[in-house]
Chains A and B, each alone.
Chain A
């Protein structure tokens, strides 16, 4: 998991380098929330925060990660409920039921990576996926529905890194080298996050969004809320609720 996550985060940052905004795929996805309240279950969030060392290595930090997980969960619950969904967390499930969904978490990791690589980056579309967005977890996803009694499953992946003192010193030194015309400043910390929403009746991925930026701080509740809101800002709101507002 660690290796895939790091590779994914690195790949995304490389491919979306210098891109400070949120990539949005909503126009390609036909997601219409059901009329009336619906239930979303949050799958085990894949979150890791780390310190970016002078050498460029990401050193995971447990305290930051715990804080970010807590902040993201809170922000998601609040913002999803504002959209007519009721959030429940996977962590509330008994152990034998988590076994059922583990496969789908792994499958979604691969699907998410593929979507980012072939839809959101400079890599060419896959031959069978040109001009369409029909990724799916398969009919088997109904098992999650049976285990959780939810209508949708929300998957969250997030990585955030912060420069160490040594890294910052290197950046300052690198900037100084610009004086002679050759800028060698190494990059600072980055934030990469994606959410995908799967319809548990069909298994289809009905919503996907990616965030890649070099600002923001998931350790801070406001920073986490801002990232979540950027991620789900364009997710349609339940019609019933929309009328009420």
Chain B
């Protein structure tokens, strides 16, 4: 039984990393990859280095401060330790980087921020029938923290002029192109 759990977890990690691989433009990632040979692209306890990412982290830190003092936060100790425990079990070495907040809202979602703040909405818990289903959702969020591109992608996207974001890649005029002028 333990073995089955482990392989399901490994499968999900593999699936998520594959998904990430595809978005990063590596079509070859569709090929079967043995999850056990995959390694995270980031070490635990990652701290931002670039100016834009540092700014992004600070903005998210402010959001986290707000969430910590929110009336929508669930303080039930048992539930919090259960969800945190589940996340830790999935994220392993990255567990200390994660802070889980259970937010009372009926909508179906959970979210992970690059700083390690994870929000689990009660709407997600409402819709889950088993721990396995919940684990699938949470591992999908947890895996974000071990991928190097995390907020890099978002920052790169944000840097593009709004009107150009949805144009095909080779049409886009980069700000850097203009700076050369």
Contacts and interface: CB of A to CB of B under 8 A. Distances in A.
Contacts of A65: 55, 58
B49 to A, nearest CB: 12
Contacts of B164: 55
Contacts of B25: none
Interface string A33-66: 0000000000010001011011111011111011
Contacts, number: 69
A222 B164 CA distance: 39
Contacts of A53: 159, 175
B159 A55 contact: yes
A55 B55 contact: no
Interface stretch (A95-103, A129-137, A191-199): A95-103
Contacts of A2: 59, 62-63
Contact of B55 (A1, A54, A62, A103): A62
Contacts of A98: 69
Given A164-B175, A166-B179, A169-B179, A55 B59 contact: no
B63 A1 contact: yes
A54 B54 contact: no
Nearest to B180: A169
B59 A57 contact: no
B161 interface: yes
Q: Lowest 9 CB-CB distances: which A-B pairs, in order? A: A55-B161, A54-B175, A60-B55, A102-B69, A62-B58, A166-B179, A62-B54, A166-B175, A61-B55
